[in-house]
Amino acid sequence: NSLLFRRGLASLKPAQSLFAPLDTFPERHIGPDDAEASKMLSQLGYESIDDFVAATVPPKIRVASNSVDNTSIPTFSESQLHARAKELAGQNKPFKSYIGMGYHCAVVPPVILRNVMENPAWYTPYTPYQPEIAQGRLESLVNFQTMVTSLTSMDIANASLLDEATAAAEGMVMAFVSARNKHTFVVDSGVLPQTVAVLLTRAKGFGIKVVVGDVAALLKDEATRSDVCGVLVQYPDVNGNVKDFRVLAEITHSLGALVVCATDLLALTKILPPGEWGADIVVGNSARFGVPAGYGGPHAAFFAVTDKLKRKMPGRLIGRSRDTQGNPAYRLSLQTREQHIRREKATSNICTSQALLANMAAMYAVYHGADGLQRIATKVHKFTQVFKNTVEALGYKAINDTFFDTVTLDVSAVATAEAVHTKAIAAGINLRRIDDKHVGVTLDESVSPEDLVALLNVFSSTASAQPVALASLSEPQSSNIPATLQRISEYLPHPVFNKHHSETEMLRYINHLASKDLGLIHSMIPLGSCTMKLNSTSSMIPLTWPEFSSVHPFAPYDQVQGYHKVIKELEDDLCKITGFAAASLQPNSGAAGEYAGLSVIRAYHESRGEGHRDICLIPLSAHGTNPASAAMAGLKVVPIKVHNDGNLDLEDLTAKAEKHKDNLAAFMITYPSTFGVFESGVQDACKIIHDNGGQVYLDGANLNAQIGLTNPATCGGDVCHMNLHKTFAIPHGGGGPGVGPICVSEHLAPFLPSHPAMPVRGEQSINAVAAAPFGSASINLISWAYIKMLGGSGLVQSSKIALLNANYMASRLQDHYVLRYKNENGRVAHELLIDLAEFDKAAGLKVTDFAKRLQDFGFHPPTCSWPIQTCMLIEPTESESLEELDRFCDAMITIRKEAEDIITGKQPKDNNLLKNAPHPMSIIASSQWNRPYTREQAAYPLPWLREKKFWPTVSRIDDAYGDLHLICDCPSVEEMAHRD
């Protein structure tokens, strides 16, 4: 219809055929339309996208065009996907769960559900590496930290870990490292089985000996006493007991070991906090604070320590520092502890964690406050008491008399456990399966009086007794928490937890914080290696349907058929994309995937009697998680050199591989490399490794450059992880959640991780690497939907446009900045590395100065000083339109001119637009203005900023001050009073 020709503006293509759906996702997902793509191609000098790809991706590694296409991965339109998701949702049975074991049915306050979890302002930002445009979620994460320290009575807490089990493992390693040369870690038999499984896995790499049993008894054993580095207790324990660990803590300390305590935040409103009885490290799961169970995750684990351990804590820690104006400002503290700095010397590889879920939990505490939490805990405890009293009257016997929310019953006087479970299942209820005599019951906030009666009637009918009526239940007067273990200390007195209790106030607080943060809702976030692409609404919607969100991770498989179809389909599609044979979705971050993959490699070697292979070759350009993960898996890291142009030094590789051939376990490589390089020698490199008995681990962070063009198997890998939160469109959530599944070749498949809750366990499987059998299961839905809606051709087109967008930017920027790398055809991969070293030399301008100045243009800076100190790594992804690419390039080019003025002396070196950046409103609005540039130059350097400007809310933050004066709690009553 020629009259409708849009004069070169963006437009949608006509339908392919009468019956083709119109709500096709690729055209909504991919930023540039055909006209824009053509424009970019012709600017780069190519006739077609295929010519361009041919010049960009080395021919040697290309895969057949049918490896990923609409036959192998058929396309669903948005509404078809919605219908399919509904169908699968209907295949999950909504049983009421009393399984407990660390997982609960959380009640999500609707205001938080809608305005945090379902709000792109909260879920699209990245980890707050740029604190001036992230004060909102930084404040919220400090609320999380404060909530944890206050409830646990510990000195300091981090901003979340992946799950309780891995948090406990981090605690174990901290104890191990602190104790030096003591190798035994004692785990109480009351600890959750999934935690024990993860500890066993993790202990291996560090050579820690885990012993499980009655801790007090075990600590009487002399061999243990002399070798113990730490103990782990569960408080309350898996059976519900609330035990007094004071004496245990004293004994442990007297042995020079640390006490790690896994606990429950809601119980802590009632029971003596671990910080008051001597725990050194306290971990747990914050999900019952308003985070849906989601068949296992995501949710935020917490990790708190005493003051003396604070500088060794794993994970991200938010602290309060000050900006150049002296105003309080939040930032990531103590980053020097992190894996990206410490590499193989790091004892933790944690990178992406669970920011969004930590924020939800923190908001839950803000909304309820101490009194609200107290009344929830009171209800849960009293309901549990009513439960116990009533079933005991029916003849069942509780094996624990102290408890907060969990009762373990010996049912044998009445019936078999199986008989109880049968009645429960018939009533749509899941109980904890223990053995043939014992049944566990855990209550939570979601249990209504009617639910309680239905639960009781499972037991009354099993006992052939009269049904229980609500009216017959009476309120218990005493508590089942021992008097000596009752909490008396105050918690959450801070103003933030005591003023947002009306929905209006809460909504405004949530919105106010969100308004300080830059996310994908504002502009591109061209963070190299992070792949910040569209997180589509269609893929987000099913997540919060109750059929997916409220499923317990240990629910019987026959109740979660819908989930298992999603898991199976996603695994299959990931295998098609990577060229591998099998997948595991258990690892809940990229780094966790690395660790899992390397553990699989180790198990493979062991299975062949080559358990001694422990050398891991890693290029110097690798992401810091690689060496950290290798070290955690018990591998010794041998670095491989990298050429100046980004390519691997194959000679060095050959030399090291041959040198270590008897002990070579693995080679870790990122492809395209972290320099944004499609190395043409990748297959040769892998062959060298294989020839010397090693396995190749491919870090798939950059998979977005590969789909349908090449794949990790073709490149020569044996295993790879993917970051579903990068390539497969799970939103970054401001620093998590993530999913880091691994795919492996046929020969490695038998070793993929198992889990105590999996019905069938492979004989050769490594043990669990995460608390839940399918990790952060619910968000797999996002990647599943993403893949299904793009279909094979959309996936491949996305990769092609990701490459095109990056190359277009490179071509615009290379006249102004030093482009570190391009291939023989002048092409970069899906990201580009520019080097700013010259500006430091010429005028003392650092990468940070450029980054902060970009904030004034409303952009999130690219990845800074990684993988090269003096560089910026820019990754646009396929979702950005040509207009947005141009806006960013215009900003960069404008800053280049501003830098020129500084170099030539037009502007002073110490007081200029870059050094003073960013410029928040408070500075612009100040009457004082003794700067050699105007306010307009500071705030509106390009005309479109007048229409659309995102304002940083603080000026540049003082990092050193923050690390020196470590404050990680939110302001107290006194401090707030002082501020007003």
Ligand X SMILES: Cc1ncc(COP(=O)(O)O)c(C=O)c1O
Binding site for ligand BCT (CB under 6 A): 340, 351, 529
Q: What is the DSSP string of 519-565?
A: -TTTS---BTTT------HHHHGGGGSHHHHT--TTS-GGGBHHHHH
DSSP 517: B
**SS3 of 673, please?**
coil
Q: Exactly one of 146, 153, 234, 529 binds ligand X (CB under 6 A); which one? A: 529
Q: What single string gives the DSSP state of each residue in 926-963? A: -S----SS-HHHHH-SSGGGGTS-PPPSS--B-HHHHH
707 to 245, 794, 961: CA distances (angstroms): 53, 10, 45
Instruction: Please pick, from the candidates 699, 831, 849, 884, the single residue that binds ligand X as defined by CB under 6 A.
Output: 699
Q: Taking CB within 5 to 8 Å according to partner kind, which of ligand BCT, its own copies, ligand X, none is near residue 340?
A: ligand BCT
Stretch of residues binding ligand X (CB under 6 A), selected from 163-171, 297-305, 559-567, 584-592: 584-592
201 binds ligand X (CB under 6 A): no
- Choose from its own copies, ligand BCT, ligand X, none: what does 823 bind? Cβ within 5-8 Å by kind: none
Interface of this chain with ligand X, residues 341 to 380, rule: CB under 6 A: 351-352
Q: By CB under 6 A, how many residues form the interface with ligand X?
A: 16
Q: Verify binding: residue 124, ligand X, rule CB under 6 A.
A: no
Q: How far is the CB of 738 from ligand X (least distance, A)?
A: 4
385 sits in which H/E element: helix 355-393
Is residue 623 near ligand X by the rule CB under 6 A? yes
Bond preceding residue 737 cis, omega within 30 of 0: yes
How near is the Cβ of 7 to ligand X at its closest, in Å?
Answer: 41
> Which of 701, 748, 789, 914 is close enough to bind ligand X by CB under 6 A?
701
The letter for the amino acid at 950 is: F
Q: Does 162 bind ligand X (CB under 6 A)?
A: no
Q: Does 625 participate in binding ligand X (rule CB under 6 A)? A: yes
Q: Closest CB to ligand X among 127 and 140? A: 127
Task: Single out the residue of 58, 136, 716, 738 in contact with ligand X (rule: CB under 6 A).
Answer: 738
Minimum gap (Å) between residue 747 Cβ and ligand X: 24
Does 588 sit near ligand X (CB under 6 A)?
no
Starting from the edge strand earliest in sequence, which strands make up the sheet with 863-864, in order? 818-819, 832-835, 871-874, 863-864
Residue 368 or 623 having the CB closest to ligand X: 623
How many Å apart are CA 748 and CA 419, to the nearest integer? 41
Question: Shortest distance, CB of residue 352 to ligand BCT, whole angstroms?
Answer: 7
The count of residues in the chain is: 980
Q: Of ligand X, its own copies, ligand BCT, none, which one does residue 22 interact with (CB within 5 to 8 Å by kind)?
A: its own copies
The entry of ligand X, its own copies, ligand BCT, none that residue 17 binds, CB within 5 to 8 Å by partner kind? its own copies
Token digits of residue 494: 């801070």
Q: Which two tokens stand for residue 627?
A: 């060496």
Q: Which residue, 590 or 775, has its beta carbon nearer to ligand BCT? A: 590
Task: Give yes or no for residue 676 binding ligand X (CB under 6 A).
Answer: no
- Measured from the CB atom, the residue of 703 and 968 that comes closer to ligand X is 703
State yes or no: residue 530 binds ligand X (CB under 6 A): yes
d(CA 875, CA 888): 11
Taking alpha carbons only, the member of 549, 594, 559 closest to residue 779 is 549
The C-alpha atoms of residue 697 and residue 685 are separated, in whole angstroms, by 12
Write out the H or E segment, with its range, that includes residue 615. Answer: strand 615-619
Check binding of 385 to ligand X (CB under 6 A).
no
Residue 927 contacts which entry, ligand BCT, its own copies, ligand X, none (Cβ below 5-8 A, type-dependent)? its own copies
Q: Which does 589 bind (CB under 5 to 8 A by kind): ligand BCT, ligand X, its own copies, none?
A: ligand X
CB of 350 to ligand BCT, least distance (A): 10
* DSSP code, position 116: I
For the beta carbon of residue 890, count every other beta carbon within 10 angstroms. Answer: 16
CB of residue 273 to ligand X, shortest distance in Å: 31
The nearest distance, CB 22 to its own copies, in angstroms, is 6
- Comparison of 157 and 591: residue with beta carbon closer to ligand X: 591
Ramachandran assignment for 754, one of left (phi > 0), alpha (psi -120 to 50 degrees), beta (any other): beta
Query: Quick check: 149 binds ligand X (CB under 6 A)?
Result: no
d(CA 323, CA 957): 4
Instruction: Please answer whether residues 532 and 129 qualify as being in contact, where contact means their C-beta atoms are separated by less than 8 angstroms.
Output: no
Least separation, in Å, of the C-beta of 528 and ligand BCT? 8
**Are the C-beta atoms of 957 and 326 separated by less than 8 Å?**
no
> Residue 163 in contact with residue 771, Cβ under 8 Å?
yes
Name the minimum Å distance from CB 410 to ligand BCT.
49
Closest separation between CB of residue 965 and ligand BCT, Å? 25
590 touches ligand X by CB under 6 A: yes
Nearest to 187 by CA among 222, 167, 216: 216
**670 contributes a contact to ligand X by CB under 6 A:** yes
Burial class (CB in 10 A: 0-12, 13-18, 19+), 27: middle
Query: What's the CA gap between 831 and 531, in Å, rounded?
Result: 9
Q: Which residues bind ligand X (CB under 6 A)?
A: 351-352, 529-530, 589-591, 623, 625, 670, 674, 699, 701, 723, 738, 740
